[in-house]
Amino acid sequence: MILSCNNIDKTFVDNHVIKNASFHIEDYEKAAIVGINGAGKTTLLKIITGKLPADAGSVTFAKDKSFGYLAQHQAVDSENTIFDELLTVKQEVLDLESAIRQTEADMKNASGSKLDLLLKKYANMTHRFEDINGYACKSEITGILKGLGFQENEFDKKVAALSGGQKTRVALGKLLLQKPDLIMLDEPTNHLDLNSIAWLETYLLNYKGAVIIVSHDRYFLDKIATKIIEIDNGVVSSFNGNYSDYAIQKEHLRTEQMNAYLNQQREIKHQEEVIDKLRQFNREKSIRRAESREKMLDKIERLEKPVEVRADMKLTLTPYKTSGNDVMQIEGLSKRFDSHQLFENVSFEIKRGEHVAIIGDNGTGKTTLLKIINELVPMDSGTIKLGANVEIGYYDQEHHVLHMDKTLFEEISDDYPYLTNTEIRNTLAAFLFTGEDVFKKISALSGGERGRVSLAKLMLSEANFLILDEPTNHLDITSKEILETALNAYEGTVLYVSHDRYFINKTASRILELTHQEFVNYIGNYDYYLEKKEILTPVSETGSGTNAEEPSAQKLDWKQQKENQALLRKRENDLKKCEEKIEALETKSAALDEEMAKPEIATNPAKLQDIAKEKEEIEAELETLYAKWEELSEGDISI
């Protein structure tokens, strides 16, 4: 065991954030802390790291064990370059390398016993240098920086000139290089693109130490976590398994708790009715019995009603009017900033009812595309045509649709005056704003809270074409599930940019990947994208395909790709059916062989003839199926 937390308690004024929490982390265990925004996840990490005192309880680390902590926001101010900043972690390597070079120089002019001493010193230093992997130091730094999304031409940038997100990535790189026995990460994926998140997953899965993660990225937690530590109304509970395992266990536990609560309420109501009836008799014995039952009732430990996380949190999204079947057509679209070409001559269409997710590395132009569609940024060339009756609702990361001087209630009521007070409160409650929260000023809200208000306004709009830029950023898991439910029930069309793979998996019917300044189309969700990515991008890193005469997948328009993917799925389905039929006939043929071997059949010519005829028909059908199977297996669909 590397970490033990016992009876941790923490209160801020009247908010009892953590109540008597106890849990432990084993060596090499990968644990995740989950809970809604404000539940106390970051507070718990700060108590563990000693950055915040607990009101009660103890935190104990195993002897001689080290830990590293990455907060959500890093103040990494340094005049070093990115590479040199990571190199500071390897100071022992640098000092040892310098000492080795000096010793080599000293040995040139030494002799006798002095040389012997220098040789012994040199041997010890080189041995130590090998032990701390000194020879691979710079390649290790390069690998981590590339994994975290930095290009080699960025390694010489000054850390002080980086954005907040880039500084957080530098801090994460330094922490990974330190290799402590326990790594604690607070929202590590917030500033990473999909490729970097996938790299971090692999790194942490293979990490030779323990990990504690606070994250709302459910796909990430499913890949990494072996234990979930939940904070729910201050109560800390542990669940074995990843996030999906936890969700199932949590639902079962909530059902059991609710059943126990309802059973107790029924029993209490029954006893109260009996007591009332006994008192109505108004006899000495009946009154004594009533008093006796009252005492027993008073001794019952009352169960609290379980909090219904999803109660009153469902949204029905109904556009004011239905758009035409052709929602948007983009042709020949290009955009560059100075010398940096984002995308060039791209074309695609969006049909009514589609849920299209745009994915790609940071800086490829995903958000710019959405801004071009909404006429916030001019295009360099190309055309964008909207279909009949299309009404756009746009959600941007900066929340320009909000008024900082208004309260939440005013923000909704002013834009939607036809809503009743109850409807406004219900809408805000759907995004986790209840009670006096509705009278908070927008300016006083956190980034995540402003995001939820923006989404609430968007969902109330009459738009039939929703365009969303990173809608799940800063949302907790419950809020994401609300949005997923809303979008999946939505009858309109959705186009969004996101790096939340779990969210994409739940809501996308189609994916456009922005890569190499072009869009590659996938008809399916994120799992389908991962499955088909290599098939749909047969072009090598140098740009040469296996057949120069065939157009690459990136040059095919989306209609052709859609048809090809449908053919591919049909072929796979036909192949599976063929294999199943072959297996059934082979089983039947073997059964007939056994039948013919029986003595009572072998001595019956008529029966033998019937079985032989049936077997002959099976063998003929098998020959046809074998040929069909080979044809399907070797079939080539160019996609």
pLDDT digits (tens, 9 = 90+) for 362-408: 778 898 999 999 888 999 999 999 999 999 988 887 666 788 899 99
pLDDT of 359 higher than 60? yes
pLDDT of 558 higher than 70? no
Over residues 517-543, the mean pLDDT reads 73
Percent of the chain clearing pLDDT 70 (strictly above): 90
DSSP H or E segment with residue 519: strand 518-522
Which SS3 state, helix, strand or coil, does residue 392 take?
Answer: strand
Angle among Cα 593, 594, 596 to the nearest 5 degrees reads 65
Q: Look at phi and psi of residue 188 and say left if phi exceeds 0, alpha if psi is from -120 to 50, else beta.
A: alpha
Of 109-113, 543-547, 588-592, give the lowest mean pLDDT range.
543-547
pLDDT of 212 higher than 80? yes
Which SS3 state, helix, strand or coil, does residue 483 take?
Answer: helix
pLDDT of 290 higher than 70? yes
* Residue pair 46/70 in contact by the 8 Å Cβ criterion: no
pLDDT of 556 higher than 60? no
Distance CA 191, CA 268 (A): 52
Distance CA 183, CA 210 (A): 6
- For 80-136, the pLDDT digits (tens) are 899 999 998 888 888 898 898 898 888 888 888 888 898 898 889 889 888 888 888
Comparing 567 with 562, the larger pLDDT belongs to 567
Query: Under 8 Å CB-to-CB from 482, ≥6 apart: which residues?
Result: 313, 314, 315, 430, 431
Decide: residue 333, CB within 10 A, 0-12 exposed, 13-18 middle, 19+ buried: buried
pLDDT value of residue 559: 57
Over residues 451-475, the mean pLDDT reads 85
Query: Under 8 Å CB-to-CB from 267, ≥6 apart: which residues?
Result: none
Amino acid letter, residue 20: N
- For 124-168, the pLDDT digits (tens) are 988 988 888 888 888 899 999 999 988 888 899 988 888 777 888
The phi, psi pair for 336, rounded to 5°, reads -135, 155
Distance CA 509, CA 526 (A): 9
Over residues 469-483, the mean pLDDT reads 81
> Which residues are bridge partners to 386 per DSSP?
328
Distance CA 602, CA 638 (A): 54
pLDDT value of residue 480: 83
Comparing 185 with 75, the larger pLDDT belongs to 185
pLDDT value of residue 311: 47
Distance CA 31, CA 227 (A): 5
Question: Per DSSP, which regions of 446-492 are E strands?
Answer: 465-469
pLDDT value of residue 33: 94
In terms of average pLDDT, the best of 25-29, 282-286, 308-312 is 25-29
- On average, the pLDDT of the chain sits at 84
What are the tokens at 259? Answer: 């059943």
Distance CA 251, CA 230 (A): 13
User: How many other CB atoms are there within 10 angstroms of residue 324's CB atom?
Assistant: 13
pLDDT of 626 higher than 70? no
Over residues 223-232, the mean pLDDT reads 93
pLDDT value of residue 471: 87
The residue to which tokens 């062989």 are assigned: 593
Query: pLDDT grade, residue 555 (50/70/90)?
Result: very low
Cα separation of the two ends of the chain: 51
| Pairing assessment for the beta strands 182-186 and 210-214 based on DSSP bridges | parallel
What are the tokens at 118? Answer: 């220098």
